[in-house]
């Protein structure tokens, strides 16, 4: 069963997006604060939001403290996206090539969005980003952290 968008959005960690230390203290990962392999926290934040909304994520790492203690989360954008695409999770995402197609396709809907190759002109740069997306009061799509609609490919899972 898919979670309600309102539950996912409300549970998204709102500490400053680049305050890794605050996020990691919240989930008991103090030992990873200075580990450069974990400085990108987008998948961790989305995992926490989904877990808080009742989704059981078969992730690689466990939350060590707080109300979600013991729950698994996935720290990587690509792996989390693949997990969410499973039939028993959120299912196959809607896939778009680039900005105009994605923005038109998503329209005025809310959900989870995964951006693949966010800098498509950089040779060899396969960096991605996953986030929670919804239209703002001016009908522009807005992510909780950052949208990358210029990405080479964009996956979208609508949530009601």
Task: Detail the DSSP E strand segments found in 2-73.
Answer: 61-62, 72-73
The domain ranges of the chain are 5-84, 94-159
User: What are the tens digits of pLDDT across the range 84-122?
Assistant: 999 999 999 999 998 899 999 999 999 999 999 998 888
The class that CATH gives domain 5-84 is few secondary structures
What is the C-alpha to C-alpha distance for residues 5 and 100, in angstroms, rounded to an integer? Answer: 24
Q: At what angle do helices 20-27 and 42-52 cross, to 10 degrees?
A: 40
Tens of pLDDT, residues 53-83: 999 999 999 999 999 999 999 999 999 999 9
In this structure, which topology does domain 94-159 adopt according to CATH?
endopeptidase fold (from Nostoc punctiforme) (3.90.1720)
pTM for this one? 0.95
Q: Which of 56, 61, 52 is nearest to 29 (CA)?
A: 61
């Amino acid at each position: 069963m898919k979670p309600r968008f309102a539950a996912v959005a409300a549970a998204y960690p709102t500490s400053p997006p680049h305050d890794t230390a605050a996020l990691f203290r919240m989930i008991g990962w103090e030992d990873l604060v200075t580990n450069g392999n974990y400085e990108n926290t987008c998948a961790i934040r989305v995992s926490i939001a989904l877990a808080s909304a009742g989704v059981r994520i078969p992730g690689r790492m466990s939350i060590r403290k707080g109300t979600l203690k013991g729950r698994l989360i996935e720290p990587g954008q690509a792996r989390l996206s693949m997990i969410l695409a499973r039939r028993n999770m959120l299912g196959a995402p809607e896939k778009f090539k680039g900005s105009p197609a994605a923005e038109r396709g998503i329209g005025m809907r809310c959900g989870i969005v995964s951006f693949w190759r966010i800098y498509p002109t950089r040779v060899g740069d396969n960096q991605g980003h996953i986030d929670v997306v919804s239209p703002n009061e001016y009908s522009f799509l807005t992510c909780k952290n950052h949208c990358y609609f210029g990405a080479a490919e964009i996956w979208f899972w609508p949530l009601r």
